[in-house]
Amino acid sequence: MPTFQFIDARPIAGALGAEIYGADLSTDLDEAVIAEIRAALDEHLVVFFRDQDIQPKHQLAFAKHFGEVVEYPMVKGLEECPEIVPVLKLAHERVNFGGLWHSDTAYLETPPSGAILVARELPPFGGDTLFANMYLAYETLSDGMKAMLDELIGINSSAKARVTQTREDRMKSDAKVDVDTVLIGEHPVIRTNPDTGRKSLYVNYGHTVRFKGMSEAESAPVLNFLFQHLCRPEFTCCFKWRPGSIAFWDNRVTQHNPVNDYHGYKRLMHRVTIAGDKPQ
């Protein structure tokens, strides 16, 4: 575990996740502080900040320390900052945006490496976000399952029925593409971190529809097992949002699930996405 001079990283669960103290994201952070935040993210896979008072320009500036900022392909961003997407559920709506276990935009040829989510308006209770560690999801599979999955390619679609339902309300008002647009990404089921050589599971319930060369019916038994396996409680952490809270996750090796338990209340978050590379 790395040691830090400028920040304090406090784990919140055994599997992943740490809260970081000692960094004010509304300021121009020194590169030494950025380096320590990057090291904490590598170690804990998702990091959280509390009591931050930042504007969209600060969110963008912070994100750019970690890579190129890219726009979300399906829904419009803020008028003044198109790279920042409102993640919104209104009080009368019943379905929350992205409300299922998933890795962001796995249907792209180069899915994002990470994302930074800022709490803007929260319900009085509920609305927590769960995160899961895909290193552990892979490492706890049997040797036989690992060997079978190692050569497989996952077909990931933006049009998988369950995930399109979570976007319906926002697509009605803020769509960037035609509602019938389908984006497809083909990626290894087991991806390898090029920096560490460590392997992780890379299928997700929101987007993965089948294995390449197989039908959906043939793929379903294994995929359904993996979808249940990857979110086992011991692989997860739960983050309780408060005003001023920020989450920053490594999208390559985690999945997340925003809990939809606050009907009758509005929840508004701002998300910025950091470019990634093609999974190997």
Q: Cα separations (Å) of 2 from 9, 14, 35, 42? A: 10, 16, 11, 10
Q: How many helices (H) and strands (E) does the chain have?
A: 6, 16
Of 102, 170, 207, 252, the catalytic one is: 102
Task: Reply yes or no on whether 271 is catalytic.
Answer: yes
41 close to 13: Cβ distance less than 8 angstroms: no
CA-to-CA distance for 58 and 246, rounded, in angstroms? 12
Of 167, 207, 256, 270, the catalytic one is: 256
CA-to-CA distance for 40 and 20, rounded, in angstroms? 8
Pairing of strands 46-49, 267-274: unpaired
Task: Reply yes or no on whether 102 is catalytic.
Answer: yes
Cα-Cα end-to-end distance for the chain: 26
Of 104, 207, 267, 270, the catalytic one is: 104
Of 191, 252, 270, 271, the catalytic one is: 271
Active site residue ranges = 102, 104, 256, 271
